[in-house]
Chain A
């Protein structure tokens, strides 16, 4: 069905433009920008129309923890949050480490999620860091990247062999860099706050050490590598040097590390316990700057659903992670409202870069690109109520927070999956 979105503020991450225009879609793809008004006409009222968000860090509770999140609930949260493509993590129970489990999650996703879903696979069996998975079979079955998530492949020999094997197949390897013996047991970042609260802590230097090791092995093997969940300012010069040297590396940051700092933990609030732990305000500002300059390529939600029981525990014992599919967009807009970044640059990190790095078709506002779109009002204020979230788990650190930016409508391949009809 042909549709034209008119009077829209088009956010184009590829060209960097931010101007009023129109988008025409037909057959699930964008057929024209600023073309003639054809088909059904939707007046966007001057609100922002952008490519849907491509979120590369989503944990779903399937298999293993469906009481925390299902494809249906996560899909609804994604649609409401303007996320049109979820790239899901393999850190499930059991891990997605065989073609069979991968086929299961892809089938489940196709049945119930209203948005595009792609799956990553584990890099090593059981994410245990001992033997590499069947990278070839998993690629054939549709894996878009290989990662053990927050489990670091501690043995450099195992990691370098996995990188070498992945390179031969052109597979992307994603890691959350960390020196695991230093960060073992840590709940917060070391420093004055950690000392005052008496919590086990890790220095941000552990992240730099992990990144330096990974990059040395990537340089040695020539693999395609994405350093995800960066959180420490001290790691950024290392990344910059590797990029300048032409290493095939990209980097990602989680939304919470761009919008919160360690002091937000306050009086042992476990909804602020994430991994890596929240850092200092200096780190946060350095990360925002790195996103603005493009040193950090990708922002993801690192959506990690946890039920109340896993969080209502003493801080050290409580589970890590926060849900963020639905809050990613308004949280990211905080950076825009703070004047740190403009919308097209932000959308580079939210849609264009992740799609490019994972070889996915979305993320662009161009003729021939999929009609995956989000229409949003960047200024609409609201107070977040965690119980209004569509995720099964309500563990957001933004409960009660004042936010700006609401999704008006979301379309996947031209089909409305959220709101939109009254736009």
Chain B
């Protein structure tokens, strides 16, 4: 079992063994979360600051609960309302917070690479809670944990990721993670919502749901990021739902025991039919939320172990 990272900035730098380490530990935290006490004190005395430069309810709540269950002192900073409005740069904000000696910084930012930039300037462990269209590593890890618990394994599965791939950091982190764990990854969506040269990432690309879902073990739907659409990617929501929305007819092309996932928040009737989202035999959407807390607990636990071990996290074996 190894985990040698100082920060969790993305899935890209992780070794498959490190991914496995996070998931194994998260499994035990999932059990803890279902128990009556739900408490641990591995982060006791440590300070966790959640810095969200972009609106988020679910992810921020998940990180907050994860930190509190582990005994950390958690502070939330709504960055839109604060000093950036006064013209302070990201680096100055980071240095200011760094001077307060936090142990964990959880950061979401609307620009790709902003969390990497911030991590260069602080002494604590930084967790990327989503940066622009780049990565959202804890989402990919919670999806992986959900898949592993449902399917009993995390390799040689056929996984279809469907919808707005281009604007999705969730899709990027997921396709990197699932590829590292040796799964067959398919991307399904209209070509206007596909990143350029995405076929060079070792994935199969489809613009037809029925073909893309054929014999899939996992169907992962993405939110159609309406707030990011500055116009003209798709003709209309109703045509999108008709061609790419997940309904029973399209899902019938996947394997009989295929699970349906969604990172939330859902647009019912846009990318997913409400009855499928609520179908407890197919949909694991609620379990994803549950695993989100467990995975974040595991990630913060591992990062602070490395932090405590000193300046040379590379030398630490968990």
Listed in ascending order, the chain A residues whose CB lies under 8 Å from chain B are: 190-192, 194-199, 201, 203, 267-268, 309, 312-317
| Inter-subunit contact A198/B117 (CB<8 Å) | no
B201 at the interface (CB under 8 A from A): yes
Q: Could you pull out 6 A-B pairs where Cβ atoms are within 8 angstroms? A: A195-B197, A195-B198, A197-B112, A199-B112, A316-B112, A316-B132
A267: B residues at CB distance < 8 A: 113, 116
For A267, give the chain B residue with the smallest CB separation: B116
A317: B residues at CB distance < 8 A: 111
Known: A199-B113, A268-B116, A314-B111. Contact between A190 and B196, CB under 8 A?
A: yes
- Report B179-199 residues with CB < 8 Å from chain A CB: 195-198
Shortest CB distance B155–A (Å): 23
B223 at the interface (CB under 8 A from A): no
Which 3 A-B residue pairs are closest in the complex by CB-CB distance?
A: A268-B113, A198-B133, A198-B134
Known: A198-B172, A267-B116. Contact between A191 and B196, CB under 8 A?
A: yes
Known: A203-B196, A267-B116. Contact between A313 and B133, CB under 8 A?
A: no
Shortest CB distance A277–B (Å): 13
Interface core residue of A195, A199, A316 (most chain B CB under 10 Å): A195
Contact-residue bracket for chain B: 20 to 34
Which of A194, A197, A313 is in CB contact (< 8 Å) with B90? A313
Complex CA gap A201/B167 in Å reads 12
Known: A198-B132, A198-B172, A309-B89. Contact between A315 and B196, CB under 8 A?
A: no
Which of B113, B134, B169, B197 is in CB contact (< 8 Å) with A191? B197
Complex CA gap A317/B90 in Å reads 11
Interface core residue of A192, A194, A198, A268 (most chain B CB under 10 Å): A198
| Inter-subunit contact B196/A201 (CB<8 Å) | yes
B109 at the interface (CB under 8 A from A): yes
| Inter-subunit contact A192/B197 (CB<8 Å) | yes
For A194, give the chain B residue with the smallest CB separation: B196
Complex CA gap A190/B166 in Å reads 12
B111: A residues at CB distance < 8 A: 314-317
Complex CA gap A313/B112 in Å reads 11
| Inter-subunit contact A314/B133 (CB<8 Å) | no
B135 at the interface (CB under 8 A from A): yes
Complex CA gap A317/B114 in Å reads 10
For B198, give the chain A residue with the smallest CB separation: A195
Shortest CB distance A306–B (Å): 14
